[in-house]
Structure 1
Amino acid sequence: MSTTAEAVKDRDPAAMSHREILEAMTGLLAALFTALLSTTIVATALPTIIGDLKGSQTAYAWVITTALLANAATTPIWGKLADLFNKKLLVQSAIVIFVIGSVIAGFAHTVPLLLVARVIQGVGMGGLTALVVAIIGSIVSPRERGRYSGYMGATMAVSMSGGPILGGVIVDSPLGWRWCFFVCVPLAVIALFLLQRTLRLPTERKTGGSIDWLGATLLTAGVSVLLIWVSFAGKAGYYDWFSRESALYVGAGLLLLAATVWVERRAESPIVPLPIVLEKTTGLAIIASIAVGVGMFGATTFLGQYFQTARGYSPTAAGVLTIPLVAGMLIASVTSGQLITRFGKWKRFVVFGGVLLVIGFGLLSTIDHATDLWLVGAYITVIGLGVGMTMQNLVLAVQNTVSVQNIGAASSNVAFFRTFGGAIGVSVLGSILAGRVGELSAEGFAALGIPAGSSNGGTLDLKSLPAPVLEIVRAAYGDATGRIFLVAAVACVIALIATMLLPNKPLRTTIDIDPALDPMQPGTTPRTGNTVDDTPRERVLQH
């Protein structure tokens, strides 16, 4: 047990030792690894999957978007359930749901059925996203949490580096792309076994709580309508950005979100607690997380397509080429987590991470179909470093401001908005990419005297294209990719501004805080200035 962990144990005899925490985290990280591995495997295999199922660029984006949307929509619900019920049983249930979705996806023979399976997978991933962070937050003090967030970041980096390679190998093997989904089943069984053996949590069910199903339904509906709008608008879609159809979609989406706010202000147990969202630290962290989600999910989704569709590499080679991205995430998340635990300083890391994201996506916006691969690798390494420094540390900053009883709601809401940003980002970037590819392809076809036709974003079944057409399509995808990363760079400028405005509050060394300092407690005014570690007002969680 480390010296810092011993100090925490001395202050709180009921606190868990470093060894006990690591044992508890074994199953949690195994479950998180399984879910993330599935996501990264799909990212590499997706060009082959959509080509085999005769899907379009719009379908490509929606295979990712549906999972992200289901993930985002259910994350606050899982977080609220974590504050009410047994977290261990909940995380096991999330794994089972995820496995069911994976099996259905493996047997899917049409794009609509695949989308349904991805929704089910997203529900399970939403549970894992919310519960893993909430459980860690309920057993580790914020000052010590940096180290364990680093472990979680390392797990994410390993899954994100191994997933694309494993997915490429599976697609290129006789097994075929369907085993990209089936391979997660035995891994999930192992995770369930480890959770049953290693995770022991003192549980105390709250009484009088409930789930705000109306708020959750309105929120999901509002987000879904806006995603449908951005997916099918533009030159490659079914209507223009400025049209009657767009006005109807935007109006309906904003009306549903306004109704969500109205319901949440009056709900006994709101799914998105407004006192948390409106608290300065949490609000700014949410803004930054949305922008980080746009960049992170956009990069992981479209880089694989760039390497395969634009550059002509095999799925296995495309997986290898994404390693610099996850290597940067691994180095930054582990290093920043250790340094935060050692020195108690966190803001400098999230601000510097925001700077790296802006620089990285700015550089990546210059790529085309002929850019040297070593340059692309250098650019995505910078992005990986930025993501590793910001993603988990933004959650840490929020957890530092709420009591342990509300850590599930606080953590899940930050994760919700990050995933929501990712869903919006993938949908918007996919729409922009489809439109730009259509323009560049039409120009190339016109130069050869070939009628461009209408493809609604273009087919990804490249094997069926004649050589001259294939060359034009590859060049179009390569040259169009830079534009979507320029949009991501603009989003990351917003993240950088938000991180710079975050209050630089010292991290607590105790697990819980005084209810008077908790923004979730009615009738209280949370402090906005710095708090002092170990003051008498702070109390320790009694298990």
Structure 2
Amino acid sequence: MTTAPPDQKPEHARPNLAHKQIMLLMGGLMTGMLLAALDQTIVGTALPTIVGDLGGLDHYSWVVTAYLLASTASTPLYGKISDLYGRRPVLLFAISTFLLGSLLAGLSQDMTQLIITRAVQGIGAGGLMTLAFTIVSDVVAPRERARYQGLFGAVFGISSVAGPLVGGYFAENDWRWIFYINVPLGIFALYVCSRVLRLVPHQRRDHRIDYLGAGLMVAAVSAILLALSWGGNEYSWGSPTILGLFAAGAVLTALFIVAEVRAEEPILPLRLFKRSTFSLANTATFILGFAMFGSIIYVPLYLQIVKGASPTGSGLLMLPMMAGVIVTSIVAGRVISKIGRYKWFPVAGTVIMGSGLLLFTTLEVDTPLWQAFIYMTVIGVGLGMAMQPLILAVQNAVDLRDMGAGTSAATFFRSLGGSVGVAALGAVMNNRLSEQMSGNGMSGVSINAPAEVRKLPAQVLSMVEHVFVNALHPVFLVAAIVALVGTVVTIALPNRPLQGGTPLPKESEEDAAADMEAKVAAF
């Protein structure tokens, strides 16, 4: 009797869906993922306008923090619960929750209501992110899955640029449509996923929900993310509040591990970490999130403060990065499906991304835009090569019964890495900027509002531009070093072939498509 290698579990039966059927399902999943990804960035450029309308400047940061906290903390829960109850009802719940939160956010009359409804949005978004990858893994074998998941990378590329762009546009017109626009798109996703997912069977099994583990995990993640979000902003890093939150996060994490060891149906099965591919891929995903989210947010600031671009204009100027992510994600997915292996794509991707970040350390006030565009494209190409193959590696290392938990773990570590990256690199930026401003006798000058910076006298503006660019250099340097650490981790990944990969014969595909159309028409 033969057994599968520890990092490569045997395949289970999957529904016999043709390419057209899968693309129909992908349309709904990609729409839902686009909504969740957009709402991570779309609010930022409109926040000053929203605060001016609703008031509550002291709660400014909570509009972003509430969404980030709710989406990150809920992500692992969706994976495990969908393993137990099936993907369809859990995904429909996530979409409906996101839609409800979006509608209520648009109707908010004060900052408290907006913060609460943003948290509701975040709860739904946590499911949209992780379940999209998980559902594709249910219906497509890993080798064929790469070409479909490459499209998800394109969605992230679009959202990274379209978020600030669309947010800036609605801020200049009616900011409430930032949230209302989600409703028709969400209804489309709800309709398509509801119909198509009826054809994806779920084998129910006896289970127990790990309520204790779920509660401890949410509490631990919340404490850590609050400390990272508030540290250096609301409170100093050495304040009792921040230190207390970090201590609480550490204690709760330890209790969570103990609870998971004892649980019959753990939310995050710790046995998965015994597989080297699972552990290394999630580590690399955390590192990628750190370098990506923690550094790229400063590129639009450079374009606005130094180059004088508007929020909408800075979004358009980020198109080279988006193009790099989209094209490379799709091409890499197709190549991976063809050759059946993924390891050297994240290796090359982290090297290229790190190189792009190093190039950004050479930015100066007078750097021409075409040169910055080249740097953006390099980073985009690296991201497109590394992001999706790492999730594919995680999925290839787990059994189908753990697919939801495994996929949600990858999404969770990427989000957590982004949160840590934003906090850590933000601290580097703030410290360097403070030193530069004080050293040049500019302590009283604020650069929080780029539009106001551009109104400063020419001599002061010139000093601000040089100080800001000098403060950016160590940010991109640290991010580049972190990305290159990711290279070391991805090199250690086992180079195992992807499972499956035998496509349906044309006749079978056409028969399956006709069968599906008949079933859908019956609903």
Compute the TM-score of the two structures, normalised by the length of structure 1: 0.81
Q: 1:73 Cα shift?
A: 1.2
Match of residue 496 from structure 2: 505
Selected match of 2:236 from 216, 234, 239: 239
**For residue 106 of structure 1, what is the aligned residue in structure 2?**
106
Task: Classify the secondary structure of the residue corresponding to 2:268.
Answer: coil
1:90 aligns with 2:82: no
Q: How does 1:111-260 map to 2 (within 5 A)?
A: 113-172=113-172, 175-234=173-232, 238-241=235-238, 247-260=243-256
Q: Is the contact between residue 143 and residue 340 of structure 1 (CA under 8 Å) also seen in structure 2? A: yes
SS state of the match for residue 259, structure 2? helix
Question: In structure 2, how many angstroms separate the alpha carbons of the residues matched to 1:143 and 1:344?
Answer: 5
- Secondary structure at the counterpart of residue 199 of structure 2: coil
Which region of structure 1 is more displaced relative to structure 2, 11-20 or 290-299? 11-20
1:482 aligns with 2:482: no
Contact map agreement 1:25 1:199 (CA 8 A) in 2: no
Q: Distance in 2 between matches of 1:230 and 1:198?
A: 40
Q: Who is 2:401 aligned against?
A: 405
Deviations 1:77-135 (A, max 9, x none): 00011111131222122112112332343345665554433322221111011111111
Gap change, CA 1:371 and 1:259, over 3 Å in 2 = farther
> How far apart are residue 462 of structure 1 and its match?
5.1
| Structure 1 position 495 matched with structure 2 position 486 | yes
Q: How many positions carry a matched residue from both structures?
A: 489
CA contact (8 A) 1:69 1:419 kept: no
Residue 513 of structure 2: aligned partner: none
Measured at CA, do residues 118 and 316 of structure 1 come closer, stay the same or move farther in structure 2, by a change above 3 Å? same
Q: Deviations over 1:443-486 (max 9, x none)?
A: 44x26xxx639x8xx74385499724776656544443333222
Q: Counterpart of 1:499 in structure 2: which amino acid?
A: T
Give the match's secondary structure for 2:42: helix
Q: Summarize the Cα distance change of 1:272–1:370 in structure 2 as closer, same or farther, 3 Å threshold.
A: farther
Residue 230 and residue 16 in structure 1: after superposition, are their counterparts in 2 closer, same or farther (change >3 A)?
closer
On the 8 A contact 1:325/1:384 being kept in 2, the answer is yes
Aligned match of 2:324 in 324, 328, 342? Answer: 328
2:304–2:450 CA contact under 8 A, matched in 1: no
1:460 equivalent to 2:449? Answer yes
**2:76 maps to amino acid:** P
Secondary structure of residue in 1 paired with 2:81: helix
1:250-274 Cα deviation digits (max 9, x unpaired): 3332222111111111112112211
- When structure 1 is superposed on structure 2, of 334-343 and 417-426 the one drifting more is 417-426
Paired residues of 2:235 and 2:241 also in contact (CA < 8 A): no
Q: Does 1:348 align with 2:344?
A: yes
Q: Do the aligned residues in 1 keep the contact of 2:38 with 2:159 (CA within 8 Å)?
A: yes
Identify the range of structure 1 (299-308 vs 382-391) with the bigger mean alpha-carbon deviation: 299-308
**Contact 1:57–1:460 under 8 Å retained in 2:** no
Matched, 1:385 2:381: yes
Distance of aligned partners of 1:307 and 1:239 in 2 relative to their CA distance in 1, 3 Å threshold: same
Would you say the 8 A contact 2:15–2:200 is kept in 1?
no
Letter in 2 for 1:27: G
Checking the alignment, whether the CA contact within 8 Å between 1:146 and 1:396 is kept in structure 2 is yes
- In structure 2, what is the Cα distance between the partners aligned to 1:314 and 1:435? 26
**1:418/1:21 Cα in 2 relative to 1: closer, same or farther (>3 Å)?**
same
Report the AA paired with residue 182 of structure 2: C
Matched-pair contact (CA < 8 Å) for 1:281–1:502: yes
Change (3 A) 1:465 1:326: closer
- SS of 1:467's partner is coil
Structure 1 contact 281–503 (Cα < 8 Å) conserved: yes
Normalising by structure 2, what TM-score?
0.84
1:425 is displaced (CA, Å) by 1.5
* Counterpart code for 2:192: L
Deviation at 1:237, TM superposition (A): 6.0
Identity %: 38
The alpha-carbon deviation at position 53 of structure 1 amounts to: 6.9
SS in 2 for 1:176: coil
> Once the 2 structures are TM-superposed, how far is the Cα of residue 413 of structure 1 from its aligned partner?
0.7
Given the superposition, is the C-alpha separation of residues 473 and 187 from structure 1 closer, same or farther in structure 2, using an over 3 Å criterion? farther
Contact 2:337 2:501 in 1 (8 A): no
Give 1:139 deviation, angstroms.
0.6
**Structure 1, unaligned runs of 5 or more:** 1-10, 512-543
Distance, in Å, in 1 between the alignment partners of 2:498 and 2:154 is 22
Cα pair 1:78 1:126 within 8 Å, conserved:
yes
Partner of 1:516: none
**What is aligned with 1:36?**
37
1:235-290, Cα deviation, whole Å (9 max, x unpaired): x663354x666544433322221111111111121122111123200100111000
8 Å Cα contact 2:14-2:138 kept in structure 1: no
Structure 1 position 44, deviation (Å): 4.3
Contact kept, 8 Å, 2:130 with 2:408, in 1: the verdict is yes
Contact residue 349 and residue 381 of structure 2 kept, 8 A: yes
Distance 1:317 1:122, change over 3 A: same
The residue type equivalent to 2:202 in the other structure is E
Q: Which amino acid aligns with 2:201?
A: T
Alpha-carbon distance change, 389 to 344 in structure 1, aligned in 2, over 3 angstroms:
same
Deviations 1:372-413 (A, max 9, x none): 322222212111111111111111111112222221111111
The AA in structure 2 aligned to 1:140 is V
Report the AA paired with residue 456 of structure 2: A
Q: Using the TM superposition, name which of 345-354 and 489-498 deviates more.
A: 489-498
For the 8 Å contact 1:107–1:178, the answer to whether it is kept is yes
CA–CA separation in structure 2 for the residues paired with 1:29 and 1:43:
22
Q: In 2, Cα distance between the equivalents of 1:436 and 1:105?
A: 36
CA distance in 2, matches of 1:216, 1:244: 27
Task: Find the residue that maps to 2:398 and give its secondary structure.
Answer: coil
Q: Tell me how far apart the structure 2 counterparts of residues 303 and 107 of structure 1 sit (CA, whole Å).
A: 32
Deviation at 1:224, TM superposition (A): 3.0
1:17 is displaced (CA, Å) by 1.9
1:285 equivalent among 281, 291, 294: 281
After superposition, the CA RMSD in angstroms is 3.1
CA–CA separation in structure 2 for the residues paired with 1:114 and 1:162: 22
Residues 44 and 318, structure 1, Cα contact 8 Å, conserved in 2: no
- Match for 2:97: what amino acid? I
Matching residue of 1:439: 435
Gap change, CA 1:441 and 1:108, over 3 Å in 2: farther
Whether the 8 Å contact between 1:165 and 1:316 is mirrored in structure 2 is: yes
Q: Post-superposition shift, 1:158?
A: 3.5
